[in-house]
Each structure stands twice: as structure tokens, then as C-alpha cells.
């Protein structure tokens, strides 16, 4: 197999039982005990995660708290504490960024690091992994599992092979022996359904999937057949398989929506209801792309086709529908010439920046606002954290900022 030999060394880091380990760290009396984070019995929540002690009772993420209580009555149940996990995620990013500039966080507790260029400077890859583990253990009192392989797909598989606190290194010439003998279910993107189909075709291992004629896979999976085979080969052709640091992620320059009224209007209620509609549409598109905006522009076209725009910029990023509506309304009030009817109204958001992608937990996803932790970028991060979480996190942020400057 030649597709995966790319001379790159990619590290995947995944924190162990992330939310639960943070809680155990902060409350030593629950260390070594089954801890379930997500809600307390009697609540209708689901398990966000649980400690490895609780996993022995078959508790999994997404399971209703009531079911978890049945399976493990002795467990300690805790509500999620999003801000704390967010802060820890931020501290992790600080650590990772010091080992290579090529860090791509993929969820609240996971990242890919391209360490190819760091190997010469910092020693061999095992040494780098052990240094990262040591730093996380000493500074954050947490453990992680690390996988190192020639590409992202195999590195992610590797980090999962020896959890918790694992380190699995797969050299180029070990891919056949280690990765290709694993079941296809270990592969990113292969769910239970696809696994069943593959098994029925006699394809049980990743190696068998990599070597199946593409034609056969296309027959069963359509265009996805080609994709899953490429993933099985760990090929780098797919752009998604390259490391994309947060500050290099490409996105549009602006996101906007316009509305032409069926009839020209000067009804403020009508105009504002359309403005709300546009705010929701624009906000949704912004959040889908995990972006925040620093500038909003309002466009008005009058009956006689005269068009005017006005914009406002903010020190912090906006991304909520209410924020977009509030600011577009203020712009409207400022520029609307009451003598003429309106033909078209539009909102555009620009100066966009990536909001960090998280675990899929919607409560955190809404709050998590994150990008590359280079020093100059810390200031807007601090501002946005302050706005959302108050002074407390900022005082901790300042400590971190100070620490960062002194590294």
C-alpha cells in the first residue's frame, strides 16, 4: 500500500473521560469512583460522559440519566459545568500550540497535531508525546491518550487503542500489521449499518476494505464507496485529512441575506419583522459555519432604487440572532429616511472568524468561542469570554495570559 506513505507524522490527542476527569480532579473525594456527568437522578438529562469506573457498568454517553442510575445506583451524578470544561479546553490548546503551530482542534477535548517539523527540534516523536502528557498531567492534573501515525485517520484510531492514558505509535511499516488488521468499525465514518453491509460482503478488516475493488464498493455505497476506501487507505488526497490550524481555516468574507418586499412599504412593524427574519437566517448560516462576526452592514433600497448601506463594528464577536437583530435595528433607526417607502432590506455580516468546533454538546457549542491562541489573539478571546462569563473567568484568563507571555 503506497497511498498512506506521506512522510508526515500526525499526532491525535484525546483527553480521557474529559468532563468526568475534570470533576474528579476538582473533588478528590470522588476520585476512583464511578462518576456520571450530565444530570442528577430525577432530571431528564442524558449522560455527557462518565468515569472509567462507571463504564464497567455499561454506562455510555447519550444514555438517559434514569437508565444510568438503574445500571449503577452507587454512582455519583453531577451536572455539567460547561464554563469549567471550556476553560480547560483553552488551557489544553495553549499547551498543544507550544509543540507545533499545526494544531487542529476537532472537538472540546481532541486535536490533531502535525509534529513532522517538531521532531528534529524536540527529539523523537515518543519524547514529544511523553512531554505533552507530562505537561497535561502536571499543569492540568489530567490524562490523555495519544496516537501517532502517518495520517489523521490512523492517528485517531491509534489514540483509541490503549485508552486511558495510552500512547500508541504506528510507524509507516507497521500500518499493515496494526491498522489493517483492525475491524472496519474502528474507522471514522463507518457506522453500524455500513459495518453490516461490509461484513456481508466479506469485508471485515480495514485492510480488506482498502484492497476491495472500488467498483464493488461503489455498487453498494454509491460515491461514498470511494470515500470510505480512501479513508481506509488513510489517503491524504481528501482535504479533510490535512491539518488545518484554526487561523488558517478558510471561510467566506461575508454572510448576508436580503429581502425584496412584494410591495414597497413604510410599515415599521412589517420592516422589523422582516429584519428579524433576516437576522435569524443570517445568524443560522453564521453558526452553521461556526463563525462569529465583528461587523454588521445594513442595506436599504428605497422605492426609487436609491440604495444606501451603513455599518457598525464591534470589539467582540456577535453570532446570536438577537444580537444581529438588535444592531441591524439600531442601524435602520439611524439611517431610515421616513419620507420614502422601502423596496429592499438586507443584512450582511463580515470580519468573520472561526468559533471553535466542539463535542456536539449544544449547551457548550453555543458558548464556546475559541480560536488560535497566539498572543495577539488572546485579547479578543478574553473580551468575548468576559462578556459571556463575567469577571471571574477573566481574572483566570489574565493569569493564563501572563503565563503564556512567560513561556
Residues near ligand DCP, by CB under 6 A? 14-19, 48-49, 61-62, 108-109, 163-164, 359, 361
Half-sphere exposure of 44 (CA within 13 A, CB side): 0
Q: Which of 261, 236, 323, 259 is nearest to 287 (CA)?
A: 323
Closer residue to ligand DCP in complex, CB, 4/19: 19
Measured distance CA(387)–CA(391) in Å, rounded: 8
Per the annotation, the verdict on 110 as an active-site residue is yes
For the record, the C-alpha cell of 285 comes out as 448560516
Closer residue to ligand DCP in complex, CB, 110/235: 110
- Considering only 10, 11, 13, 15, the residue that binds Ca ion (CB under 5 A) is 15
Residue 23 binds: one of Ca ion, ligand DCP, none (C-beta under 5 to 8 A by kind)? none
Residue 14 as a binder of Ca ion (CB under 5 A): the answer is yes
Given the residues 23, 53, 104, 110, the one annotated as active site:
110
Find where cell 422601502 sits.
Answer: 342
Residue 62 binds: one of ligand DCP, Ca ion, none (C-beta under 5 to 8 A by kind)? ligand DCP
Residue 100 binds: one of ligand DCP, Ca ion, none (C-beta under 5 to 8 A by kind)? none
Please report how close the Cβ of residue 69 comes to ligand DCP at its closest, in angstroms. 18
Kindly give the pairing relationship between strand 254-265 and strand 291-302. unpaired
Residue 361 binds: one of Ca ion, ligand DCP, none (C-beta under 5 to 8 A by kind)? ligand DCP
Return the sign of the alpha-carbon dihedral for residues 71, 109, 105, 12.
Answer: negative
Q: Tell me which residues in 103-142 interact with Ca ion (CB under 5 A).
A: 109
Half-sphere exposure of 221 (CA within 13 A, CB side): 24
Q: Which of 27, 16, 25, 88 is nearest to 52 (CA)?
A: 16
Closer residue to ligand DCP in complex, CB, 18/90: 18
Closer residue to ligand DCP in complex, CB, 24/279: 24
| Residues in binding contact with Ca ion, number by CB under 5 A | 4
Closer residue to Ca ion in complex, CB, 146/318: 146
Closer residue to ligand DCP in complex, CB, 194/359: 359
Residue 72 binds: one of Ca ion, ligand DCP, none (C-beta under 5 to 8 A by kind)? none
C-alpha pair distances (Å), 184 with each of 60, 150, 181, 191 = 21, 18, 9, 9
**How is residue 201 annotated by DSSP?**
T
Kindly give the pairing relationship between strand 103-107 and strand 76-78. unpaired
Residue 282 binds: one of Ca ion, ligand DCP, none (C-beta under 5 to 8 A by kind)? none
Please report how close the Cβ of residue 92 comes to ligand DCP at its closest, in angstroms. 12
Measured distance CA(95)–CA(114) in Å, rounded: 14
Helix, strand, coil percent content, the chain, rounded in steps of 5: 45, 20, 30
Options 6-14, 98-106, 160-168, 203-211: segment touching Ca ion (CB under 5 A):
6-14
Q: Looking at the annotation, which residues are catalytic?
A: 110
Which residues contact Ca ion by CB under 5 A?
Answer: 14-15, 18, 109
Amino acid at each position: 500500500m503506497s497511498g498512506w506513505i506521506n512522510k508526515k507524522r500526525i499526532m491525535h490527542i484525546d483527553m480521557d473521560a474529559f468532563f468526568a476527569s475534570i470533576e474528579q480532579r476538582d473533588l478528590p473525594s470522588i476520585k476512583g469512583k464511578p462518576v456520571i456527568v450530565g444530570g442528577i437522578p430525577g432530571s431528564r438529562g442524558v449522560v455527557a460522559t462518565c468515569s472509567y469506573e462507571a463504564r464497567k457498568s455499561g454506562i455510555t454517553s447519550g444514555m438517559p440519566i434514569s437508565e444510568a442510575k438503574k445500571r449503577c445506583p452507587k454512582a455519583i451524578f453531577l451536572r455539567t459545568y460547561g464554563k469549567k470544561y471550556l476553560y480547560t479546553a483553552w488551557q489544553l490548546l495553549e499547551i498543544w500550540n507550544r509543540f507545533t503551530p499545526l494544531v487542529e482542534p476537532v472537538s472540546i477535548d481532541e486535536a490533531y497535531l502535525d509534529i513532522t517539523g517538531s521532531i528534529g527540534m524536540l527529539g523523537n516523536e515518543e519524547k514529544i508525546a511523553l512531554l505533552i502528557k507530562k505537561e497535561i498531567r502536571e499543569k492540568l492534573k489530567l490524562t490523555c491518550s495519544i496516537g501517532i501515525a502517518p495520517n489523521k485517520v490512523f492517528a485517531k484510531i491509534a489514540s483509541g487503542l490503549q485508552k486511558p492514558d495510552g500512547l500508541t505509535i504506528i510507524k509507516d511499516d507497521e500500518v499493515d500489521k496494526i491498522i489493517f488488521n483492525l475491524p472496519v468499525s474502528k474507522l471514522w465514518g463507518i457506522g453500524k449499518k455500513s459495518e453490516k453491509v461490509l461484513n456481508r460482503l466479506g469485508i471485515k478488516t480495514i485492510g480488506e476494505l482498502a484492497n476491495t475493488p472500488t467498483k464493488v464498493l461503489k455498487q453498494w455505497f454509491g460515491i461514498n464507496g470511494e470515500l470510505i476506501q480512501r479513508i481506509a487507505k488513510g489517503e491524504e488526497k481528501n482535504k479533510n485529512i490535512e491539518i488545518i490550524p484554526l487561523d488558517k481555516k478558510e471561510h467566506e468574507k461575508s454572510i448576508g441575506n436580503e429581502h425584496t418586499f412584494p410591495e414597497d412599504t413604510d410599515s415599521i412593524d412589517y420592516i422589523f419583522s422582516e429584519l428579524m427574519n433576516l437576522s435569524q437566517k443570517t445568524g443560522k448560516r453564521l453558526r452553521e459555519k461556526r463563525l462569529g462576526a465583528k461587523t454588521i452592514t445594513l442595506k436599504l433600497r428605497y422605492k426609487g432604487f436609491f440604495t444606501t448601506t451603513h455599518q457598525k463594528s464591534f470589539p467582540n464577536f456577535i453570532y446570536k440572532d438577537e444580537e444581529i437583530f438588535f444592531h441591524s435595528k439600531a442601524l435602520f433607526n439611524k439611517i431610515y429616511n421616513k419620507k420614502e417607502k422601502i423596496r429592499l432590506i438586507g443584512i450582511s455580516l463580515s470580519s468573520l472568524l472561526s468559533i471553535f468546533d466542539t463535542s456536539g454538546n449544544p449547551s457548550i457549542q453555543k458558548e464556546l468561542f475559541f480560536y488560535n491562541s497566539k498572543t495577539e489573539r488572546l485579547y479578543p478571546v478574553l473580551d468575548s469570554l468576559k462578556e459571556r462569563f463575567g469577571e471571574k473567568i477573566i481574572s483566570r484568563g489574565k493569569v493564563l495570559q501572563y503565563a503564556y507571555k512567560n513561556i
